[in-house]
């Protein structure tokens, strides 16, 4: 009994059985068969290279360029979608935010107008004041005038909405301080 | 087949950035060995050309994942072998293979007169030819072949033995007949 091709291939790959290894060492016929196996594999490895009949690079390059173009377009579409979504968010945010801003501004303007009316009715110019009171009143009125100047230029300065509300609140605060000066003086003199 | 398959590292680095000239240089370096491998496995030259194209599209797509561990040709060869075997499986050649293998027991008279190794290879079933080529020429292990074919290691080993048995008969009819 001789080795089969399977035995010889296994032996070549270092996996043969003990029986097959011993048999090949003793059997000239199986040794010749093993040699033919080695020769066949060597001939397979020595076969001449088969070259592609056509140049495929141009087709590959065109496909790569087309894929890159599609990828860029996908990115562009994604970018536009993101930009549109952001724009939508900004619009929704400004719509939600607008009432709060408008309310605060209207409230500050209304307070300012009310104080303005009260101060006008008080008619401080026709009343007698101490030098310190007059100085404090002048300082507050200067600050209010300066603030009015800034509010007048608001449209050109590019100040944000929050700052506009803040300026009006500062004006209300200064007018309240001005009112306080007059009220304190009135209490002091018992008017 | 003796070809110089060494590629400068700078070329690989440029190819990783998507540089088309560098990618073309890689194609020029490997087109013949890839086609050679594909042609030995695939049934027709057209199939082998398709495998060549698919392999390089995969190389272009995945070159960034090549870590430089081992020779670049080894990495390209793995892709090429996978593409070629996928094509074999996709074409459902197994059914045809069975018919060819059944006919193997009785070589036609023209074969008995003796044919060269090239033609003997063509006489093998696609699966046997792929296994003998990948194992004995390209150096794939049975485990690697089995994984790529979606079969067992035993299947790969038995296909290799069948391939050699048939090659032996085709190349040495006188011996086979004795």
Going by C-alpha positions, the residue among B54, B75, B62 that lies closest to residue B16 is B62
Look up the ipTM and state it. Answer: 0.79
A130 is in which domain, residue-wise?
A: 57-189
pLDDT digits (tens, 9 = 90+) for A179-191: 888 777 665 555 4
- CA A105 – CA A115 distance, rounded (Å): 16
Cβ-based neighbour number of residue B153 at 10 Å: 14
- Residue-level pLDDT at A148: 86
Assess A92–B contact: CB distance below 8 Å, yes or no: no
Q: How confident is the model at residue B46 (pLDDT cuts 50, 70, 90)?
A: very high
DSSP string for A89-153: HHHHHHHHHHHHHHHHHHHHHHHHHHHHHHHHHHTGGGS---HHHHHHHHHHHHHHHHHHHHHHT
Assess A50–B contact: CB distance below 8 Å, yes or no: yes
In chain B the first and final C-alpha atoms are separated, in Å, by: 33
- Based on the domain organization, do B83 and B98 belong to the same domain? no
- Based on the domain organization, do A29 and A113 belong to the same domain? no
Q: What is the CATH number of the domain that holds B82?
A: 1.10.1740.10
pLDDT digits (tens, 9 = 90+) for B142-167: 999 999 998 999 999 999 999 999 99
Contacts of residues A146-155 at CB distance under 8 Å and 24 or more positions apart, as own/partner, are: A147/A171, A147/A174
In a domain, A142, yes or no: yes
Q: How confident is the model at residue A83 (pLDDT cuts 50, 70, 90)?
A: confident
pLDDT above 60: residue B1: no
Q: How far is A39 from chain B (nearest CA, A)?
A: 11
- Residue-level pLDDT at B110: 43
Q: Name every residue whose Cβ is closer than 8 Å to that of residue B56 and which is 6 or more positions away in sequence.
A: A56, A57, A60, B23, B26, B27, B30, B31, B34
- Based on the domain organization, do A91 and A143 belong to the same domain? yes
Assess A60–B contact: CB distance below 8 Å, yes or no: yes
Total domains in chain A come to 2
B164 to A47: CB separation less than 8 angstroms, yes or no: no
- CA A141 – CA A144 distance, rounded (Å): 5
- Based on the domain organization, do B86 and B121 belong to the same domain? no
Assess B116–A contact: CB distance below 8 Å, yes or no: no
Going by C-alpha positions, the residue among A5, A7, A37 that lies closest to residue A22 is A7
The answer to whether the pTM exceeds 0.80 is no
B57 to A63: CB separation less than 8 angstroms, yes or no: yes
- Based on the domain organization, do A77 and A136 belong to the same domain? yes
Report the residue from B35, B53, B60 with minimal CB separation from A50: B35
Q: How confident is the model at residue B177 (pLDDT cuts 50, 70, 90)?
A: very low
- Based on the domain organization, do A83 and A176 belong to the same domain? yes
- Residue-level pLDDT at A149: 84
pLDDT above 50: residue A113: yes
pLDDT above 60: residue B80: yes
- CA B102 – CA B162 distance, rounded (Å): 11
In a domain, A50, yes or no: no
């Amino acid at each position: 009994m001789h080795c089969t091709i399977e035995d010889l291939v296994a032996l070549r790959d270092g996996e043969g059985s003990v029986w097959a290894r011993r048999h090949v060492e003793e059997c000239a016929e199986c040794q010749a068969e093993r040699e033919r196996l080695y020769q066949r594999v060597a001939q397979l490895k020595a076969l001449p290279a088969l070259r592609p009949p056509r140049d495929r690079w141009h087709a590959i390059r065109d496909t790569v360029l087309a894929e890159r173009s599609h990828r860029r377009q996908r990115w562009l579409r994604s970018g536009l979608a993101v930009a549109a979504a952001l724009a939508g968010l900004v619009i929704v945010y400004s719509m939600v935010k607008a009432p709060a801003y408008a309310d605060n501004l209207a409230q500050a303007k209304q307070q300012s107008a009310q104080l303005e009316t009260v101060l006008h009715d008080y008619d401080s110019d026709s009343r007698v004041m101490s030098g310190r009171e007059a100085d404090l009143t002048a300082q507050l009125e200067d600050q209010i005038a300066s603030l009015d100047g800034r509010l007048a230029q608001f449209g050109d300065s590019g100040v944000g909405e929050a700052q506009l509300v803040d300026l009006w609140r500062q004006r209300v605060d200064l007018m309240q301080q001005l009112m306080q000066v007059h009220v304190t003086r009135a209490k002091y003199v018992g008017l | 087949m003796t070809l110089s398959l060494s590629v400068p590292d700078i070329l690989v680095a440029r190819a990783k950035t998507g540089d088309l000239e560098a990618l073309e240089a890689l194609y020029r370096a490997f087109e013949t060995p890839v086609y050679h491998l594909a042609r030995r496995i695939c049934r027709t030259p057209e199939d082998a050309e398709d495998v060549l194209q698919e392999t390089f599209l995969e190389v272009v797509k995945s070159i960034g994942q090549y870590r430089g561990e081992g020779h670049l040709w080894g990495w390209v060869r793995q892709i090429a072998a996978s593409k070629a075997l996928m094509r074999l499986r996709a074409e459902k050649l197994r059914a045809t293979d069975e018919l060819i293998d059944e006919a193997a027991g009785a070589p036609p008279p023209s074969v008995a007169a003796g044919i060269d190794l090239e033609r003997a290879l063509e006489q093998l079933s696609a699966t046997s030819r792929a296994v003998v080529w990948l194992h004995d020429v390209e150096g794939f292990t049975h485990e690697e072949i089995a994984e790529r074919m979606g079969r067992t290691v035993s299947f790969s080993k038995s296909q290799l033995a069948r391939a050699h048995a048939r090659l032996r008969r085709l190349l040495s009819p006188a011996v086979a007949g004795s």
